[in-house]
Amino acid sequence: QTVVTQEPSFSVSPGGTVTITCGLSSGSVSANSHPSWYQQTPGQAPRTLIYNTNTRSSGVPDRFSGSILGSKAALTITGAQADDECDYYCVLFVGSGWVFGGGTKLTVL
Amino acid sequence: EVQLVESGGALVQPGGSLRLSCSASGFTFNNYFMHWVRQAPGKGPEYISTISSNGDTTLYADSVRGRFTIFRDNSKNTLFLQVSSLRPEDTAMYYCVKDRSGTWSFDYWGQGTLVTVSS
């Protein structure tokens, strides 16, 4: 069974930079995993932030960026703002379907 | 504007069945793969199922294969999920999600419909 790993939580100061990573329990994440990132505020449906590793979805501010760092996918928020405080999920395509990471709760304070 | 509106969620007893629907608008429905994703209370989202644009190909997560069936009616721009043999662990918000063609990722999400399995 494929497990996608994320840091459970992160804290960042307003204006600061944070990088959330997305790994595989066995193996490395590459562009072939088609990593994507989703943002979810309480009580709302997820919203697509990044797809194809590093392409921002329409309307997503350019302070959000995606990349591959070593063996993991990464979401970097540069210049964090108060309303960035929410949950972030990565998703990888594993051939037989998609697998969500466990999510990262970001606190901005 | 893309809109996805789910319906059909309800309180159901273990072993019961439901049919969830997703009415789509704002895009050419029959050109896109569609997905169902669920999210249990307090948990992260979980991928459930995918259907190709013409309905010929389907994928299921192991957790629901054999109990859930995805299908679509392109003449009515509607996606369905037939859920059967329901278990308490199937309790979740069920989201209809439009595929982002060619990217192996999710695009637009509906607001979800809640399924609660309890006696």
Taking a C-beta distance cutoff of 8 angstroms, is the pair A37, A55 a contact?
Answer: no
Min Cα separation A22/chain B (Å): 14
Chain A positions touching B106 (Cβ under 8 A) are: 36, 38, 46, 48, 91, 98
pLDDT tens for each residue of A63-95? 999 999 999 999 999 999 999 999 999 999 998
pLDDT for A1 equals 82
Chain B positions touching A51 (Cβ under 8 A) are: 100, 103, 105
Min Cα separation A14/chain B (Å): 25
Taking a C-beta distance cutoff of 8 angstroms, is the pair A102, A95 a contact?
Answer: no
Which of B50, B103, B112 has the CB atom closest to A52's CB atom?
B103
Task: State CA A82 to chain mean position distance.
Answer: 17
Taking a C-beta distance cutoff of 8 angstroms, is the pair A39, A88 a contact?
Answer: yes
Residues 6+ apart with CB under 8 A from B44: A87, A89, A100, A101, A102, A103
Interchain CB contact of A58 with B (< 8 Å):
no
pLDDT tens for each residue of A18-68? 999 999 988 899 999 999 999 999 999 999 999 999 999 999 999 999 999
Cβ-defined contact of A48 to B100 (cutoff 8 Å):
yes
Cβ-defined contact of A97 to B61 (cutoff 8 Å):
yes
pLDDT tens for each residue of B48-59? 999 999 999 999
